[in-house]
A = this chain, B = another copy of it.
Amino acid sequence: MNFCSDNTAGAHPKILAALSAANGGPAMPYGNDELTRKVERRIAELFERDCAVFLVGTGTSANALALAALAPNYGAVFCHPESHINMDECGAPEFFTGGAKLVGIQGAHAKIAAADLDRAIKTAGIGVVHHVQPAAVSITQATEAGTVYRPAEIAALAAVAHKHGLTLHMDGARFANALVQVGCMPAEMTWKAGIDALSFGATKNGAFAAEAVVFFDPARAASFGYRRKRAGHLWSKMRFLAAQLDAYLDGGLWLDNARHANRMAAELARGLGAIKAVRLEHPVEANELFVTLPETVIRGLEADGFRFYRWMDETSTTLRLVTSFETDPAHVAAFVTSARRHAAAAA
Protein backbone atom coordinates (compact mmCIF):
# COMPACT_ATOMS: atom_id res chain seq x y z
CA MET A 1 0.00 0.00 0.00
CA ASN A 2 2.45 2.50 -1.37
CA PHE A 3 1.58 6.17 -1.77
CA CYS A 4 5.17 7.39 -2.02
CA SER A 5 5.14 8.32 -5.66
CA ASP A 6 3.65 7.51 -9.03
CA ASN A 7 7.14 6.25 -9.77
CA THR A 8 6.64 3.28 -7.50
CA ALA A 9 4.10 1.94 -9.97
CA GLY A 10 5.24 -0.46 -12.65
CA ALA A 11 4.51 -0.14 -16.33
CA HIS A 12 1.10 -0.67 -17.88
CA PRO A 13 0.79 -4.17 -19.40
CA LYS A 14 -0.19 -2.73 -22.77
CA ILE A 15 3.01 -0.72 -22.83
CA LEU A 16 5.14 -3.74 -22.03
CA ALA A 17 3.29 -5.70 -24.68
CA ALA A 18 4.17 -3.03 -27.21
CA LEU A 19 7.84 -3.75 -26.63
CA SER A 20 7.44 -7.34 -27.70
CA ALA A 21 5.46 -6.26 -30.72
CA ALA A 22 8.28 -3.90 -31.70
CA ASN A 23 10.85 -6.66 -31.44
CA GLY A 24 10.49 -8.38 -34.84
CA GLY A 25 13.58 -8.13 -37.03
CA PRO A 26 16.12 -5.40 -37.57
CA ALA A 27 15.39 -1.71 -37.37
CA MET A 28 17.69 1.20 -38.08
CA PRO A 29 19.11 2.62 -34.87
CA TYR A 30 19.15 6.08 -33.28
CA GLY A 31 15.65 7.03 -34.27
CA ASN A 32 15.97 6.23 -37.95
CA ASP A 33 13.33 3.52 -37.65
CA GLU A 34 9.72 3.53 -38.79
CA LEU A 35 8.19 3.37 -35.36
CA THR A 36 10.04 6.39 -34.04
CA ARG A 37 9.06 8.38 -37.11
CA LYS A 38 5.46 7.30 -36.66
CA VAL A 39 5.36 8.31 -33.01
CA GLU A 40 6.95 11.67 -33.71
CA ARG A 41 4.22 12.34 -36.26
CA ARG A 42 1.56 11.00 -33.95
CA ILE A 43 2.51 13.37 -31.17
CA ALA A 44 2.52 16.27 -33.61
CA GLU A 45 -0.99 15.29 -34.69
CA LEU A 46 -2.08 15.02 -31.08
CA PHE A 47 -1.05 18.65 -30.68
CA GLU A 48 -2.64 19.62 -34.01
CA ARG A 49 0.45 21.33 -35.24
CA ASP A 50 3.75 20.88 -37.01
CA CYS A 51 6.04 20.21 -34.05
CA ALA A 52 9.59 19.06 -33.47
CA VAL A 53 9.34 15.96 -31.29
CA PHE A 54 12.24 14.22 -29.52
CA LEU A 55 11.98 11.06 -27.43
CA VAL A 56 14.06 10.58 -24.31
CA GLY A 57 13.98 8.17 -21.40
CA THR A 58 13.70 10.37 -18.33
CA GLY A 59 11.87 13.46 -17.17
CA THR A 60 14.99 15.19 -15.92
CA SER A 61 16.63 14.88 -19.30
CA ALA A 62 13.49 16.14 -21.04
CA ASN A 63 13.41 19.25 -18.89
CA ALA A 64 17.10 19.99 -18.90
CA LEU A 65 17.53 19.44 -22.63
CA ALA A 66 14.52 21.62 -23.37
CA LEU A 67 15.86 24.41 -21.19
CA ALA A 68 19.31 24.14 -22.77
CA ALA A 69 17.68 24.80 -26.12
CA LEU A 70 15.85 27.83 -24.72
CA ALA A 71 18.38 29.55 -22.47
CA PRO A 72 22.02 30.51 -23.04
CA ASN A 73 24.57 29.86 -20.31
CA TYR A 74 24.32 33.48 -19.22
CA GLY A 75 20.54 33.22 -19.05
CA ALA A 76 18.02 33.19 -16.23
CA VAL A 77 15.18 30.68 -16.08
CA PHE A 78 12.26 31.75 -13.91
CA CYS A 79 10.42 29.03 -12.03
CA HIS A 80 8.67 28.31 -8.77
CA PRO A 81 11.21 27.69 -5.98
CA GLU A 82 9.61 24.30 -5.28
CA SER A 83 9.65 23.22 -8.89
CA HIS A 84 11.19 19.89 -9.78
CA ILE A 85 13.80 21.53 -12.00
CA ASN A 86 14.94 23.67 -9.08
CA MET A 87 14.67 21.19 -6.23
CA ASP A 88 14.86 17.64 -7.45
CA GLU A 89 17.16 17.34 -10.43
CA CYS A 90 20.52 17.82 -8.71
CA GLY A 91 21.21 20.84 -10.86
CA ALA A 92 20.47 19.24 -14.22
CA PRO A 93 19.25 22.49 -15.80
CA GLU A 94 22.44 24.22 -14.69
CA PHE A 95 24.50 21.36 -16.11
CA PHE A 96 22.76 21.18 -19.47
CA THR A 97 22.63 24.95 -19.98
CA GLY A 98 26.26 25.41 -18.99
CA GLY A 99 25.41 27.32 -15.86
CA ALA A 100 22.23 29.32 -16.41
CA LYS A 101 20.60 30.47 -13.19
CA LEU A 102 17.20 29.32 -11.96
CA VAL A 103 15.44 32.27 -10.37
CA GLY A 104 12.63 31.38 -8.00
CA ILE A 105 9.28 33.17 -8.00
CA GLN A 106 7.11 32.37 -5.00
CA GLY A 107 3.40 31.67 -5.44
CA ALA A 108 0.63 29.88 -3.61
CA HIS A 109 0.11 26.20 -4.27
CA ALA A 110 3.32 25.96 -6.30
CA LYS A 111 1.95 28.19 -9.05
CA ILE A 112 3.45 31.38 -10.43
CA ALA A 113 1.24 34.43 -10.92
CA ALA A 114 1.64 36.52 -14.05
CA ALA A 115 2.06 39.78 -12.14
CA ASP A 116 4.85 38.31 -10.05
CA LEU A 117 6.56 37.02 -13.16
CA ASP A 118 6.32 40.42 -14.76
CA ARG A 119 7.88 42.10 -11.74
CA ALA A 120 10.68 39.54 -11.57
CA ILE A 121 11.61 39.96 -15.21
CA LYS A 122 11.40 43.74 -15.10
CA THR A 123 13.78 44.00 -12.17
CA ALA A 124 16.22 41.41 -13.46
CA GLY A 125 18.32 43.84 -15.42
CA ILE A 126 17.70 43.04 -19.07
CA GLY A 127 20.63 44.26 -21.09
CA VAL A 128 22.85 44.87 -18.06
CA VAL A 129 26.00 42.76 -18.31
CA HIS A 130 26.28 42.26 -14.55
CA HIS A 131 23.12 40.18 -14.45
CA VAL A 132 22.14 36.87 -15.98
CA GLN A 133 19.70 37.60 -18.76
CA PRO A 134 16.04 36.58 -18.55
CA ALA A 135 15.65 33.85 -21.15
CA ALA A 136 12.89 31.42 -20.24
CA VAL A 137 10.10 30.63 -17.82
CA SER A 138 9.31 27.10 -16.73
CA ILE A 139 6.05 26.00 -15.13
CA THR A 140 5.04 22.53 -13.96
CA GLN A 141 1.75 21.02 -15.04
CA ALA A 142 0.37 19.53 -12.82
CA THR A 143 2.43 21.40 -10.21
CA GLU A 144 4.51 19.94 -7.44
CA ALA A 145 1.61 20.79 -5.10
CA GLY A 146 -0.84 18.74 -7.13
CA THR A 147 -2.56 21.81 -8.52
CA VAL A 148 -3.26 22.66 -12.14
CA TYR A 149 -2.83 25.74 -14.31
CA ARG A 150 -5.91 26.65 -16.39
CA PRO A 151 -5.26 27.63 -20.01
CA ALA A 152 -6.13 31.23 -19.19
CA GLU A 153 -3.50 31.27 -16.43
CA ILE A 154 -0.94 29.85 -18.82
CA ALA A 155 -1.87 32.40 -21.44
CA ALA A 156 -1.35 35.19 -18.93
CA LEU A 157 2.12 33.88 -18.08
CA ALA A 158 2.94 33.44 -21.75
CA ALA A 159 1.87 36.99 -22.51
CA VAL A 160 4.30 38.28 -19.89
CA ALA A 161 7.11 36.01 -21.00
CA HIS A 162 6.73 36.81 -24.67
CA LYS A 163 6.33 40.53 -24.04
CA HIS A 164 9.86 40.50 -22.60
CA GLY A 165 11.26 38.15 -25.23
CA LEU A 166 11.35 35.04 -23.05
CA THR A 167 10.09 31.60 -23.97
CA LEU A 168 7.72 29.47 -21.89
CA HIS A 169 8.48 25.86 -21.03
CA MET A 170 6.08 23.41 -19.42
CA ASP A 171 7.35 20.51 -17.35
CA GLY A 172 4.53 18.11 -18.13
CA ALA A 173 5.73 15.14 -16.12
CA ARG A 174 2.05 14.88 -15.09
CA PHE A 175 0.63 16.49 -18.21
CA ALA A 176 -2.08 13.85 -18.60
CA ASN A 177 -3.27 14.32 -15.03
CA ALA A 178 -3.62 18.04 -15.62
CA LEU A 179 -5.29 17.60 -18.98
CA VAL A 180 -8.08 15.32 -17.82
CA GLN A 181 -8.70 17.64 -14.88
CA VAL A 182 -9.05 20.69 -17.10
CA GLY A 183 -10.90 18.76 -19.76
CA CYS A 184 -9.43 20.57 -22.72
CA MET A 185 -7.44 19.59 -25.80
CA PRO A 186 -3.65 19.18 -25.61
CA ALA A 187 -3.26 22.12 -27.98
CA GLU A 188 -5.35 24.35 -25.75
CA MET A 189 -3.18 23.63 -22.73
CA THR A 190 0.03 24.22 -24.65
CA TRP A 191 0.79 26.24 -27.75
CA LYS A 192 -2.63 27.83 -28.05
CA ALA A 193 -1.99 29.23 -24.57
CA GLY A 194 1.55 30.25 -25.51
CA ILE A 195 3.71 27.30 -24.45
CA ASP A 196 6.89 27.11 -26.55
CA ALA A 197 8.29 23.79 -25.39
CA LEU A 198 6.77 20.90 -23.48
CA SER A 199 8.24 17.99 -21.57
CA PHE A 200 5.50 15.47 -22.31
CA GLY A 201 5.71 12.86 -19.58
CA ALA A 202 4.69 9.24 -19.82
CA THR A 203 6.87 7.47 -17.27
CA LYS A 204 4.82 8.41 -14.21
CA ASN A 205 1.61 7.51 -15.99
CA GLY A 206 2.28 3.99 -17.24
CA ALA A 207 5.44 3.86 -19.31
CA PHE A 208 8.62 2.49 -17.80
CA ALA A 209 10.97 5.10 -19.23
CA ALA A 210 9.59 7.40 -21.90
CA GLU A 211 9.11 11.12 -22.34
CA ALA A 212 8.89 13.39 -25.34
CA VAL A 213 10.15 16.93 -25.73
CA VAL A 214 7.90 18.92 -28.03
CA PHE A 215 8.87 22.25 -29.57
CA PHE A 216 5.84 23.98 -31.02
CA ASP A 217 8.09 26.10 -33.21
CA PRO A 218 10.46 23.59 -34.80
CA ALA A 219 13.00 26.35 -35.42
CA ARG A 220 13.76 26.39 -31.72
CA ALA A 221 14.81 22.76 -31.89
CA ALA A 222 17.73 23.17 -34.28
CA SER A 223 20.32 22.23 -31.67
CA PHE A 224 18.28 19.63 -29.83
CA GLY A 225 19.38 16.54 -31.73
CA TYR A 226 23.01 17.29 -31.03
CA ARG A 227 22.37 18.12 -27.41
CA ARG A 228 20.41 14.90 -26.90
CA LYS A 229 23.17 12.77 -28.39
CA ARG A 230 25.89 14.66 -26.55
CA ALA A 231 24.07 14.07 -23.28
CA GLY A 232 23.79 10.34 -23.93
CA HIS A 233 20.02 10.48 -24.30
CA LEU A 234 19.75 9.22 -27.85
CA TRP A 235 18.82 5.56 -27.52
CA SER A 236 20.41 3.29 -30.09
CA LYS A 237 17.45 0.90 -30.12
CA MET A 238 15.05 3.81 -30.21
CA ARG A 239 12.11 1.71 -31.30
CA PHE A 240 11.75 0.56 -27.70
CA LEU A 241 11.29 4.12 -26.57
CA ALA A 242 8.88 4.80 -29.40
CA ALA A 243 6.88 1.65 -28.73
CA GLN A 244 6.10 2.83 -25.23
CA LEU A 245 4.74 6.15 -26.39
CA ASP A 246 2.81 4.54 -29.19
CA ALA A 247 0.99 2.23 -26.80
CA TYR A 248 0.61 5.10 -24.35
CA LEU A 249 -1.44 7.06 -26.84
CA ASP A 250 -3.28 4.06 -28.33
CA GLY A 251 -6.98 4.10 -27.57
CA GLY A 252 -6.56 6.90 -25.05
CA LEU A 253 -4.66 4.71 -22.58
CA TRP A 254 -2.81 7.76 -21.29
CA LEU A 255 -6.05 9.59 -20.50
CA ASP A 256 -7.62 6.54 -18.87
CA ASN A 257 -4.55 6.08 -16.72
CA ALA A 258 -4.57 9.70 -15.65
CA ARG A 259 -8.31 9.67 -14.92
CA HIS A 260 -7.88 6.69 -12.65
CA ALA A 261 -5.00 8.26 -10.77
CA ASN A 262 -6.87 11.53 -10.34
CA ARG A 263 -10.00 9.71 -9.21
CA MET A 264 -8.01 7.87 -6.55
CA ALA A 265 -6.55 11.15 -5.33
CA ALA A 266 -9.97 12.77 -5.24
CA GLU A 267 -11.32 9.87 -3.24
CA LEU A 268 -8.47 10.11 -0.78
CA ALA A 269 -9.11 13.82 -0.47
CA ARG A 270 -12.82 13.29 0.09
CA GLY A 271 -12.22 10.63 2.72
CA LEU A 272 -9.45 12.42 4.56
CA GLY A 273 -11.13 15.79 4.25
CA ALA A 274 -14.02 14.46 6.28
CA ILE A 275 -11.71 13.76 9.21
CA LYS A 276 -11.57 16.69 11.57
CA ALA A 277 -7.91 16.37 12.52
CA VAL A 278 -6.77 16.38 8.89
CA ARG A 279 -5.91 19.50 6.89
CA LEU A 280 -5.50 19.53 3.12
CA GLU A 281 -2.68 21.91 2.25
CA HIS A 282 -3.53 22.44 -1.40
CA PRO A 283 -6.52 21.95 -3.68
CA VAL A 284 -6.42 18.39 -5.02
CA GLU A 285 -6.53 18.76 -8.78
CA ALA A 286 -4.39 15.92 -10.06
CA ASN A 287 -2.90 12.82 -8.45
CA GLU A 288 -1.13 14.27 -5.43
CA LEU A 289 -2.37 15.27 -1.99
CA PHE A 290 -0.58 17.16 0.74
CA VAL A 291 -2.26 16.52 4.06
CA THR A 292 -1.31 17.47 7.57
CA LEU A 293 -2.25 15.00 10.29
CA PRO A 294 -1.48 14.49 13.96
CA GLU A 295 1.77 12.64 14.51
CA THR A 296 -0.07 9.75 16.19
CA VAL A 297 -2.22 9.27 13.12
CA ILE A 298 0.85 9.20 10.91
CA ARG A 299 2.46 6.59 13.15
CA GLY A 300 -0.74 4.59 13.07
CA LEU A 301 -0.80 4.66 9.28
CA GLU A 302 2.82 3.54 9.17
CA ALA A 303 2.06 0.74 11.58
CA ASP A 304 -0.80 -0.33 9.35
CA GLY A 305 1.64 -0.78 6.49
CA PHE A 306 1.14 2.38 4.47
CA ARG A 307 4.15 3.98 2.85
CA PHE A 308 4.45 7.67 1.98
CA TYR A 309 6.83 10.62 2.34
CA ARG A 310 6.72 13.28 5.02
CA TRP A 311 7.00 16.65 3.29
CA MET A 312 9.57 18.28 3.08
CA ASP A 313 11.51 16.63 5.86
CA GLU A 314 11.32 13.56 8.00
CA THR A 315 9.99 15.35 11.08
CA SER A 316 7.15 16.99 9.22
CA THR A 317 3.53 16.00 9.90
CA THR A 318 2.53 16.93 6.38
CA LEU A 319 2.36 13.92 4.09
CA ARG A 320 2.59 13.76 0.35
CA LEU A 321 0.31 11.05 -1.02
CA VAL A 322 0.58 10.16 -4.67
CA THR A 323 -1.75 7.94 -6.65
CA SER A 324 -1.09 6.33 -9.98
CA PHE A 325 -2.71 4.49 -12.84
CA GLU A 326 -2.47 1.28 -10.85
CA THR A 327 -3.50 2.50 -7.42
CA ASP A 328 -5.92 -0.02 -5.94
CA PRO A 329 -9.21 1.58 -4.82
CA ALA A 330 -9.15 -0.83 -1.89
CA HIS A 331 -5.88 0.69 -0.73
CA VAL A 332 -7.43 4.13 -0.89
CA ALA A 333 -10.40 3.00 1.17
CA ALA A 334 -8.10 1.27 3.63
CA PHE A 335 -5.98 4.39 4.00
CA VAL A 336 -9.00 6.55 4.81
CA THR A 337 -10.32 3.98 7.24
CA SER A 338 -6.97 3.71 8.98
CA ALA A 339 -6.61 7.47 9.23
CA ARG A 340 -10.12 7.84 10.57
CA ARG A 341 -9.56 5.16 13.16
CA HIS A 342 -6.27 6.59 14.41
CA ALA A 343 -7.70 10.09 14.47
CA ALA A 344 -10.65 8.91 16.53
CA ALA A 345 -8.35 7.12 18.95
CA ALA A 346 -6.30 10.29 19.32
CA ALA A 347 -9.30 12.52 19.95
| B-binding residues in A (CB < 8 A) | 2, 4-5, 7-11, 13, 16, 19-20, 22-30, 56-62, 64-65, 72-74, 87-92, 94-102, 123, 129-133, 203-204, 208-209, 223, 225-237, 239-241, 312-313
Contact = CB atoms under 8 A, between A and B. Distances in A.
A94 B92 contact: no
B92 A95 contact: no
Contacts of A9: 26, 237
Given A59-B236, A73-B95, A87-B131, 19 more contacts: A9-B237, A11-B237, A13-B20, A16-B23, A30-B130, A60-B232, A72-B223, A72-B226, A73-B98, A74-B226, A87-B130, A88-B130, A91-B101, A92-B232, A94-B94, A94-B101, A95-B99, A99-B99, A208-B237
A89 B312 contact: no
Contacts of A26: 2, 4, 8-10
Number of copies of chain A assembled together: 4
Contacts of A59: 232, 236
15 contacts: A7-B236, A8-B28, A10-B22, A10-B25, A10-B27, A11-B23, A19-B208, A58-B232, A59-B236, A60-B229, A62-B232, A89-B130, A90-B132, A123-B312, A209-B241
Contacts of A30: 7, 129-130
A327 to B, nearest CB: 9
Contacts of A88: 130-131
Contact of A229 (B22, B130, B236): B130
A24 B232 CA distance: 29
